[in-house]
Amino acid sequence: MKRNKALFAGVSAMTLVLGLAACGGSDDEGGNDSFNEGGTAAGGKNASAVGPAPALEGAKPGGEMTVLAPDPDDGPTSLDPAGLWSVTDNGIAQDLLFRSLTTFRQNGKGGYELVPDLATDLGTPSEDFKTWTFTLKDGIKWENGKPVTAEEVAFGIKRSFDGDTFATGPGTSYSKPFFEGGEDYNGPYAKGAPADFPGVEVDGNKIVLHMAKPFPEMDFYSIFPAIGPVPLDAPAADYGLKPLSTGPYKIEKYTPNQELVLVKNENWDAKTDPARRQLLDKYTFKFGVDPTVAGKTVLSDSGKNTVVTALESPTYSQARKDGKEAQTPIGPQPCTSFVMPNYTKVKELEVRQALAYAYDYENVWAAGGEIPGVTRANGVSNPDLGFNLLPPGMVGRKVWNGPEGQPAITFDPAESKKLLKEAGYEPGQYEVSFVYDATTPQGEAAAEQRKNGYEESGFKVKMYPYTAGSLYDVWTNPDSKLYKKINLLGTAWCQDWPSSATFLPPIVKTGAAYNTGAFSEKAIDDQMDAISAMPQDEQAAAWGELEQKVMNEYQPVINTGFYNTIYGVGSSVAGFNNDISVGGAPDYRTMSIK
Amino acid sequence: MTLPVAELSTENPIGPVGEGERKKIAGRSPTRIAIDRLRKDPIAVVCFAFVLLFVIIAVFAGTICDLLGVSTETVRASTRIDLVTLMPLKGPPNHGFDPEHPFGVAPGSGTDNLAVWIEGCRTSMYLASVSAILSTIIGVTLGLLAGFLGGIFDTVISFMTDLFLCFPFLLAALAVAPIINERFATDTAKLKFVSFYALVAILVFFGWMGVARLVRGEVLSLREREFVKAARVIGVPTHRILIREMLPNLIAPIVVSFSLGLPAYVSAEAGLSFLGIGVFGRESWGRSIAAATKYWEEYPLFLLEPVIGIAVLVVALNLLGDAIRDAFDPKTRR
């Protein structure tokens, strides 16, 4: 999933691509308290949760709130449920507007648990996880008072197969590959679309989903608005401008990429909804706001009812100085950024390992405007976080701080030179090359720090400035001139839900779009396929083992930091939470005005 | 009737005029007059001193940096900044003056501000001078040709002038920069060179029209003057008329437009660099400002340095340009 946020250059990765994230599972390894102040603590599943959502202590109904999303986060271009797949947009849509078959809610212990939403339970899978049956609750209404039917849910799911109309949606990654006949089905709007799609069946108020291959995580995938109802007469293109709400709020005014005003939906029934609340009278979202203005507003009196989704580090430092710690909470995001050596060019394991010791982590972050240990962190700032491929809070994850038998990773030029020597290279002999974002002074400064680190560690460095767009244009395009010149690439990745299945395969599987280092080992591919077919409760540990194996034996990626975002919370806002279930956005279901 | 002798002699002094006296009434060229006037104008003198200072800084940037012991080289950030606050360990804003880094160091990366400032001054001055010279040459040439030759030349050149005047400069800059960067993306050294001269080209491309119009207008009136007609009658070739007869009479408007063009280019370069489409791979005041705006509250000096640099240079150049215009204008009397 796309992140509507700028991530500063220096860190190799610029745009987090996938990132609908969720809580940890049942036996979280933890050990990341200071980094994960918001807590990715275990939430698990709660199939018996019923509405209304538990009352919040001291939460007063009423009041209006303004939410500012600073530039370059320009919010939703369309609010079509089938097209929503980015942190900011999904946070708003899932928490306030659209209900889907299942959803996440805070479980009172700080974690997020999976609960039924439109469905009566979390769905019943067949033994081989190839058929899922969901039963629709009674009494669910649209904002216009009409009842929501199972046909409408089925229609909504079918729309997610339309990769042309909803290119930004999650359907192409999950609906199409997993559902029976999904690869050939292009949604109900496509020319010559069959009236009956065998993958989605309706039986009374039951929705039966048929899979082409086992999909044990359909209940998690069902949190997306794409797996929810859409009126049968909805148009393909413009529905996203004025979609019908099923959640506690409905749209009063919506200007794409600028403003969204939400007011109470009278036809939402709290008794059917275990997760959402209707505390505030009105939400006003403003997108693409000037970051400095947003920071100033939220910390002043006039912004006491305001929430900012991402503050810049100078604003944060200033606020801390002024004693406003409570107003600038840090929200962890289940995301990792990587440097990815091109596996076909950087063949020696020792060289890839040396690169991990040659990256001057904290200095690169600082020069890029990130505060080490606050907005970026990994094993350098806190050994408990490790240098894993998986972000903290993932089920089955074990902290990995470096290859077996070698010192823990940190910026260590001597160790890097030693490893290079083992691979047969004298200092200054091995050339590494990378592209960096030259559009901002910070991007350049960070690249300079990175270059210095590599050079001190015995590498020869060539770096190429890039100003024409996102670095992903280069990293994911093997035909690009620059791609052919460089041997260090990168990616930043967020999980889609708390399963390594949404993290390891996209990064290390042969041919995966964001496996920019082109890592390819048949043994690892086979093992990932095998784990996907395992019973769900055994998967977590198996993924964890696989991650250790991959990192120890191949080191295909170098962890260059886990992400945190800094929120700005107005002085009158109560009940602020970091909703990691959508990848790190304010939890709009728990906030109220004091 | 005769006049008395005595009266005659007082009216007509006898003998040649003294050497000193002749100098006093000798004809002076308009340029000479203008320079004399400038020297008596205190604002012009002060501004000239400032401009001269900036020119010296720009020309001897490397030497000055060495003398002051500062350099733009990247150092390990943590040797100069606090990784928790990203603010410098020594010097402003949280500590006193640091003699090693008189202007402080940049938050985050720890690069020396003074060295960056000096290099930024060099970039600004160099780019502005090259652009102003080139656009003046192009403008004067086209203006001369259009005004003197008339006919189809005049029509075409005037049309081109109008066309370029209505084309949005910023849009062109925004469009051209990525194309060039993409084209030379794989050759960093060449990219540095090309991106700089691409910026010059853009500034020149959209900067010659004013001069061309001005010169054309002057030429239109000059070419009907007697000395030009006389030259034509005796068969002086056109290029000679243009260079020897017309050009010297156009010095005043050219100098004025050149001196007022310089500050415009300085600010244009800073503006483009601020937008991220300016010079690349070199220090520039515009880039410094872009980096510093976020830190205004925590570290005001960081932003003030480049801002003051640009402000002083542009104001000095503008006032100097105004003074030159006044000095060349026979109608102003002070």
- pLDDT at A339 exceeding the cut of 80: yes
Burial of B84-104, coded b for 16+ CB within 10 Å and e otherwise, reads ebbbbbbbbeeeeebeebbbb
Helix (H, G, I), strand (E, B) or coil at A232: coil
Average pLDDT over residues A329-339: 91
Helix (H, G, I), strand (E, B) or coil at A149: coil
Structure confidence at residue B16 (pLDDT)? 61
Query: Is residue A153 very low, low, confident or very high in pLDDT (cuts 50, 70, 90)?
Result: very high
Average pLDDT over residues A190-212: 89
Query: Is residue B193 very low, low, confident or very high in pLDDT (cuts 50, 70, 90)?
Result: confident
Q: Does A347 touch chain B (CB under 8 A)?
A: no
For Cα atoms A90, A94, A97, give the angle at the middle one, nearest 5 degrees: 110
Question: What six digits make up the tokens of A156?
Answer: 């909504």
Residue whose tokens read 């790190």: A584
CA distances from A164 to A3, A58, A181, B117 (A): 20, 47, 17, 51
Rounded-to-5 percentages of helix, strand, coil across chain B: 70, 0, 30
Structure confidence at residue A36 (pLDDT)? 37
- pLDDT at B3 exceeding the cut of 90: no
Proportion of chain B above pLDDT 90, given as a percent: 51
Q: Does A445 touch chain B (CB under 8 A)?
A: yes
- pLDDT at A208 exceeding the cut of 70: yes
CA distance A557 to chain B (A): 24
Task: Label residue A591 left, alpha or beta by phi (over 0 means left) and psi (-120 to 50 means alpha).
Answer: beta
- pLDDT at A336 exceeding the cut of 70: yes
Structure confidence at residue B15 (pLDDT)? 56
Structure confidence at residue B248 (pLDDT)? 86
Q: How far apart are CA A497 and CA A174, in angstroms?
A: 12
- pLDDT at A514 exceeding the cut of 70: yes
Structure confidence at residue B34 (pLDDT)? 86
Q: How far apart are CA A485 and CA A537, in angstroms?
A: 44
Structure confidence at residue B278 (pLDDT)? 76
Q: How far apart are CA B280 and CA B191, in angstroms?
A: 8
CA distance A173 to chain B (A): 31
CB contact under 8 A, B86 and A463: no
CB contact under 8 A, A366 and B297: no
Structure confidence at residue A37 (pLDDT)? 34
Structure confidence at residue B326 (pLDDT)? 87
Torsion of CA A37, A291, A17, A444, to 10 degrees: -100
- pLDDT at A10 exceeding the cut of 60: no
Contacts of B152 (CB under 8 A, 6+ apart): none
Q: What is the pLDDT of residues B118-132, one digit of tens each?
A: 999 999 999 999 999
Among the ranges given (A2-16, A472-486, B86-100), the one the predictor scored with the smallest mean pLDDT: A2-16
Looking at per-residue confidence, does A1 or B233 come out higher?
B233
| Residues of chain A positioned with their CB less than 8 A from the CB of B83 | 362-363, 366, 371-373
Residue type, A305: N
Task: Label residue B283 left, alpha or beta by phi (over 0 means left) and psi (-120 to 50 means alpha).
Answer: beta
Q: What is the pLDDT of residues B33-50, one digit of tens each?
A: 888 889 999 999 999 999
B186, B290, B297 member nearest A464 (Cβ)? B186
Q: How far apart are CA A96 and CA A266, in angstroms?
A: 13
Q: How far apart are CA B287 and CA A131, in angstroms?
A: 58
Please, are residues A336 and A390 in contact by the beta-carbon 8 Å criterion? yes
ipTM of the shown complex: 0.80
Average pLDDT over residues B14-23: 62
Structure confidence at residue A128 (pLDDT)? 87
Structure confidence at residue B14 (pLDDT)? 53
Q: How far apart are CA A379 and CA A336, in angstroms?
A: 12
- pLDDT at A8 exceeding the cut of 90: no
Proportion of chain A above pLDDT 90, given as a percent: 62
Task: Label residue A428 left, alpha or beta by phi (over 0 means left) and psi (-120 to 50 means alpha).
Answer: left
Structure confidence at residue B294 (pLDDT)? 86
- pLDDT at A308 exceeding the cut of 50: yes
Mean residue pLDDT across chain A: 87
| Residues of chain B positioned with their CB less than 8 A from the CB of A445 | 74, 106, 108-109, 111, 291
Q: How far apart are CA A576 and CA A590, in angstroms?
A: 7
Structure confidence at residue B2 (pLDDT)? 61
Average pLDDT over residues A35-64: 74
Q: What is the pLDDT of residues B266-295, one digit of tens each?
A: 999 888 888 877 777 788 898 899 889 888
Structure confidence at residue B30 (pLDDT)? 76
Q: Does A440 touch chain B (CB under 8 A)?
A: yes
Structure confidence at residue A94 (pLDDT)? 95
Residue whose tokens read 């029976």: A180
CB contact under 8 A, B291 and A373: no
Query: Is residue B31 very low, low, confident or very high in pLDDT (cuts 50, 70, 90)?
Result: confident
Burial of A215-241, coded b for 16+ CB within 10 Å and e otherwise, reads bbbbbbbbbbbbbbbbbeebebeebbe
The whole-angstrom distance between residue A279's C-alpha and the CA centroid of its chain comes to: 27
Helix (H, G, I), strand (E, B) or coil at A560: strand
Q: What is the pLDDT of residues A272-295, one digit of tens each?
A: 999 999 999 999 999 999 888 999
Q: How far apart are CA A323 and CA A325, in angstroms?
A: 6
- pLDDT at A71 exceeding the cut of 90: no
CA distance B43 to chain A (A): 37
Q: What is the pLDDT of residues A84-116, one digit of tens each?
A: 988 889 999 999 999 999 999 988 777 889 999
Please, are residues A465 and B178 in contact by the beta-carbon 8 Å criterion? no
Helix (H, G, I), strand (E, B) or coil at A307: strand
Average pLDDT over residues A469-479: 86
CB contact under 8 A, B77 and A363: yes
Q: Does A369 touch chain B (CB under 8 A)?
A: yes
| Residues of chain B positioned with their CB less than 8 A from the CB of A315 | 294
279-318 in chain A: CB under 8 A from chain B: 291-292, 312-315, 317-318
- pLDDT at B1 exceeding the cut of 80: no
Is the pTM here over 0.90, yes or no? no
Average pLDDT over residues A5-19: 32
Torsion of CA A140, A141, A142, A144, to 10 degrees: -170
Structure confidence at residue A427 (pLDDT)? 93
Q: What is the pLDDT of residues A230-271, one digit of tens each?
A: 999 999 889 999 999 999 999 999 999 999 999 999 999 999
Structure confidence at residue A16 (pLDDT)? 36
The whole-angstrom distance between residue A592's C-alpha and the CA centroid of its chain comes to: 25
